[in-house]
């Protein structure tokens, strides 16, 4: 599976949203983490290497952002409870994106909020993770 990226521009020509589909299976963390931090670190390293191989390294966003994470289900996968969407391996995916330069870091100063959802209508593209990244403007 390749990488699908879409940039939507506003009237001023600036990027309004960036949407990318990553060939990573989102897990819900039901196997538990316990004190096995090395397993999550190994997964983060594996994802970072994959992202670098795919040429996804970039400069950080110049402003705070909000992120909508969509779990695109693959064949035979079932929807999870809504509270399970971000509790699994998304943290390691986000950390890998920080490591390859997408964000300065994952603090609220740079990633203001993250929302999780699921999509079972695009199974032909799954399992995958879609990220919709929007500039965050205070009201």
pLDDT given at position 64: 94
pLDDT given at position 65: 95
Complete domains list, the chain, with CATH? 4-27+37-135 (3.30.1330)
pLDDT given at position 15: 59
Residue 7 bridge partners (DSSP): 18
Distance set, CA 68 to CA 91, 105, 114, 120 (Å): 13, 17, 6, 16
pLDDT given at position 34: 54
pLDDT given at position 45: 95
Number of Cβ within 10 Å of residue 57's Cβ equals 13
Tens digit of pLDDT at every position of the chain (139 positions): 456 666 565 566 565 788 999 999 999 876 655 555 557 888 999 999 999 999 999 999 989 999 999 999 999 999 999 988 898 899 999 999 999 999 999 999 999 999 999 999 999 999 999 999 998 877 6
pLDDT given at position 109: 96
Quote the CA–CA distance of 122 and 106 in Å, as a whole number. 29
- Helix, strand counts (H, E) of the chain: 2, 5
pLDDT given at position 71: 97
Quote the CA–CA distance of 68 and 56 in Å, as a whole number. 18
């Amino acid at each position: 599976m390749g990488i699908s990226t879409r940039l939507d521009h506003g009237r001023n020509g600036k990027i309004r949203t960036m949407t990318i589909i990553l060939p990573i299976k989102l897990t819900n963390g039901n196997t538990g983490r316990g004190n096995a931090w090395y397993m999550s670190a190994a997964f983060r390293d594996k994802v970072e290497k994959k992202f670098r191989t795919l040429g996804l390294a970039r400069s950080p966003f110049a402003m705070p952002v909000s992120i909508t994470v969509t779990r695109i289900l693959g064949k035979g996968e079932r929807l999870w409870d809504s509270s399970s969407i971000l509790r699994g391996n998304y943290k390691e995916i986000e950390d890998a994106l920080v490591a390859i330069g997408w964000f300065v870091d994952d603090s609220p100063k740079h990633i203001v909020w993250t929302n999780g959802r699921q999509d079972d209508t695009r199974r032909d593209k799954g399992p995958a993770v879609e990220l919709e990244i929007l500039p965050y403007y205070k009201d």
